[in-house]
Amino acid sequence: MKFRFSGPAAAVLLSLAAVGAQANTTLTVAVFPKLDQEIKDALPAWKKLHPDVDIKVSSLAIADHHNAMTTALATSSDLPDVMAVEVGFIGRFAAGGGLEDLSKAPYNAGQYKSEFIRYTFAQATTQDGAIVGMPADIGPGTLFYRKDILDKAGVTEADLNKSWESYLAAGQKIKKATGAYLMASSRDIEDIYIRADLKEGDGVYFDKAGNPVVTSERFVNAFKLAKKARDLGLDAKITPWSNEWAESFKRGTVATQMMGAWLGGHLSSWIAPDTKGLWRAANLPNNAYASFGGTFYAIPVKATQKPMSWEFIKFLTTRQDTQLASFRSIDAFPALLAAQNDGFFAEPVAFLGNEKARLIWRDAAGHIPSIQRSKYDQVAEEAVHSALDKVVDSNEDIGTALKEAQDQIAHRVRR
């Protein structure tokens, strides 16, 4: 049977169909890998709650993403509704004033503080109390090592993490017995050491008054360890995240890597999946605890769909099921305490030789202090890395190199 409609009736039906087709709201979410996968996995559950709200994900490599977001905030063009911010950039973005203060109504994000690992909110809170991002995942510092290489060298996990000196001594044994380097870059030991065992309220590069502290004993000791590693031939002189860096893990030419717990997911999924069962995870040397990485979700001040953006951020960060699904999918260690109490944490990790590594990371996270972030952290990090290169590559005096870095940072801060 065929139905026929008059011209006016057909026009009404077409108009209604057009309205229906346009009824859905679309949120644009800007992220970096593998957060795009996290959101893709979460969408079925989100659509059950909000069938009329679509999510459009824009993903760029981490450096490109933050550069794009810096430009978007500065120009108020191509702004997403929600943006992911890695912890190393949160201070700079917060200082720019382009992110919504989530401590205020209607968000009232402070009500959730007790539900998260304690140091996360401090990282996203400005000196005047503004909360510029909701914590999604964290990066408890850990020591990944190749057990097969250690076994060949007669080295134990205890040899690696008993102290910083024993870590380097173990590296000498490994190099002599197997030819493998202890670490990819001398920068690895410097980056972890300067973040280890900070006191509550400290900054990595600045004191509470905003003064650079890179000439302090903490940095001197970090540089001494890095220089010793280079002098002993224990680092492969490889740039982190380069193709050569990834190849070193695939081929077993580097025995250890100190980084955030999330590296385990990268190793197993795309860096070196064929090395399954060969890796293990342990605490950092000298019983040190450090935060290395972490993600926040923020709303630009000039975004236009803030109420629904906030709903989506809460969906990603405050729900136990969403946080656990992300951890299972992309190894994004949950910032939400309820997610950390799930039985999944006690399950063996196949890639890490069935080690219960998540329990190690959960314990480490509980020891990490709340530290302050500065909008100049990226500037300071670049200056310190440049100084370290002068020390390990050109044998510049450590004190001189650090003083030059401190002066450079102070000059940038005063501008």
Instruction: Please state, in angstroms and rounded to a whole number, the distance separating the CA atoms of residues 150 and 252.
Output: 11
The conformational region for residue 381 under phi > 0 = left, psi -120 to 50 = alpha, else beta, is alpha
Provide the terminal-to-terminal Cα distance of the chain, rounded to the nearest Å: 78
Task: Show the CA angle centred on residue 391, arms to residues 388 and 393, nearest 5°.
Answer: 100
| pLDDT score at 161 | 95
| pLDDT score at 4 | 39
| pLDDT score at 321 | 96
The per-residue pLDDT for range 187-240, each reduced to its tens digit, is 999 999 999 878 888 899 999 888 999 999 999 999 999 999 999 999 999 999
Instruction: Please state, in angstroms and rounded to a whole number, the distance separating the CA atoms of residues 56 and 140.
Output: 30
Domain ranges of the chain: 25-138+293-350, 139-290+359-414
Contacts of the segment 401-405: beta carbons below 8 A, 24+ positions apart = 401/223, 402/214, 402/215, 402/219, 402/220, 402/223, 403/215, 405/214, 405/380
Q: 189: which residues sit within 8 A by CB, 6+ positions away?
A: 164, 167, 183, 222, 225, 226, 229, 258
3-state SS, residue 130? coil
CATH of domain 139-290+359-414: 3.40.190.10
Q: Taking the CB of residue 209, how many other CB atoms lie within 10 A of it?
A: 5
For residue 67, give both structure tokens: 């550069």
In which residue are the tokens 């914590």 written? 135
Distances in whole angstroms, Cα of residue 61 to Cα of each of 30, 47, 142, 370: 11, 27, 23, 28
CATH topology identical between 25-138+293-350 and 139-290+359-414 = yes
For residue 250, give both structure tokens: 């695939």
Residue 54's beta-bridge partner residues?
A: 26
Question: Which amino acid, residue 302?
Answer: K
Q: 310: which residues sit within 8 A by CB, 6+ positions away?
A: 102, 106, 107, 299
Instruction: Please state, in angstroms and rounded to a whole number, the distance separating the CA atoms of residues 78 and 68.
Output: 9
**Residue ranges in the chain modelled with pLDDT below 70:** 1-23
Query: Are residues 357 and 157 in contact, defined by beta-carbon separation less than 8 angstroms?
Result: no
Q: How many Cα neighbours within 13 Å face the side chain of 366?
A: 9
Residue 56's beta-bridge partner residues?
A: 28
Instruction: Please state, in angstroms and rounded to a whole number, the distance separating the CA atoms of residues 64 and 52.
Output: 31
| pLDDT score at 27 | 98
Superfamily of domain 25-138+293-350, CATH level 4: Periplasmic binding protein-like II (3.40.190.10)
Listing DSSP states for 271-335 in one string gives: I-GGGTTTEEEEPPGGG---EEEEEEEE-BTT-S-HHHHHHHHHHHHS-HHHHHHHHHHH--EE-
Instruction: Please state, in angstroms and rounded to a whole number, the distance separating the CA atoms of residues 316 and 311.
Output: 9
| pLDDT score at 371 | 87
For residue 406, give both structure tokens: 């401190």
| pLDDT score at 383 | 97
